Structure 1
């Protein structure tokens, strides 16, 4: 009995160690190699180090079982908290789809989702977290309601157009759901705010007409743009990167205002703000592409893969180092789902083999009972059996 209890305790200890490793320490090991990229002039005092992620998709009550929600949120929480501890960013950006069912959530469900968001993405000290709305947060363009937009903006302290300056570097955050210019209530409000923000960036003198002012180049530092929908591209065939969408060759062309914002909206945004860099999400896959629409100034866009293991086997997030003159990007990857599952599977197989070994070895070698232990057979035993077979 004592031997069986000792065996049970040993197995429990091994499994506990594996669980703690896979659910806690593995995140430190995976993110330990991540670091903010360097820039050309590190002596610049105005340097911002930011974590940029996309599409967490916190599950609601309608889609996904509670165990799925618990698992995905634990993975995101451990990854985010480990990244905050190891990397210590100046600011965090989330480019939309914080929630999976925000657009159809009741007040109670929305409050519950916001509480979980606050726990998962808590930050030490006064590190700011800025985000934009996605279609799963407030609805697609055709179904978005004023109450959904107001609820989201009040809870997450954001707006449809927001320009912030961090260490003299301007960041433009847009609610790209309203970038359709078709006269809808959200789109009309967005058009007016876009123009107002673009004029504020240029700081023209009062005697310069607004239409002439908005055609001028953005003085000083070109901003960094963040929105949920990608800027217009026909498909991912034009993309670069190592986390692209699968089967790109069979991919159909993107629909404007569904997978990407329209070409007209892209030209408007790029001409108004002339960003040097843009971040987006929505597709759940990575894409790096250069844009030249509507402006003589090229804009590099980085579409970020989803931060949720429910959407990808290998989520990731972007590390941005930006100064007034330069910027640099790098990708940081937490442990993949397949790696964690393989670790658990190997542990289970090793445990089963360990438990089955005494029984198998006894049958194979013909072990015999000696006291409370199994003794291995002696050479004389094999010799005896061999003689008996020979009939001697």
Structure 2
């Protein structure tokens, strides 16, 4: 461990002071550099133990510390979370981060953890770790440890849990091996069951030259891929399956969020996009489908997954949304539209075959998408799972990576 590498131990010292000091002492005993960061919104008896005071963190808020210390508790927590994220992103010596918190502290600390690159050890010891933790983890590699008892002092249980937490983060830092030089650059690909034929064909042909990371387009999959792009861990993106946009706009259960394609804009990673599975919205069992969609065309994928065919109007909205997002990208972007169908169901004779709906997407996308030297649109008469389309994708990707 280099001298400049630091473990950031983060908590609200007004309620977790004794526990934080206990863990810091364990880490120091292992000759590790540890900075105790206080993110309390109130003054307290343990503030003199902090290496980084809550006031220092609060000053990273765009409106200054007054936005935190002069607000009610709810608003103060939201503001401190923003300040701590800005603070953490400004540090250049983060070897690992360990957080301690209840519901408020976990909500305060984990957004900043999510901002760190994949691979930086992140451990959140929390009373909230026994329930749905997806909101705390996002698309990052945060590890959650259930505190068992409330984090409210040192006792026979908390001593064991906190010691394990200290050993966990210490081991992650001490035994982190230098990554071997990777001969093959990593690329991200998005896939759904109905685009598997295409993506498997592409990966098979690119495998010798690229480390192909395939992400299931289930909302979290797209977020994970873009998290890696934001972390500059991908050298290229083959976003064949953009179906998460359908669910985002039309109440589906496998939705992306408003930041879909944001990482492509920020990182300027070479990007190939397409219309994979934009012909469907995903719902759970039939009884979960919103009433307003009851008269639509459905396909039962399995007892727990029901697919709804998108309409021409919905396709126009998706085309506008995606094209507007991609227009903000200044890196190399190529969007390829397979006019012969967007999925295994959207094929002549298939359950979702609808040339009218697809044409609505194509016309709107072509109208909105601003082509430049770096931003290109290609329309081809092939189906998305056809060999011809796959060969074209590979050829365009090869060109865009040169």
What's the TM-score once normalised by structure 1's chain length? 0.30
- Structure ID, larger Rg: 1
What's the TM-score once normalised by structure 2's chain length? 0.29
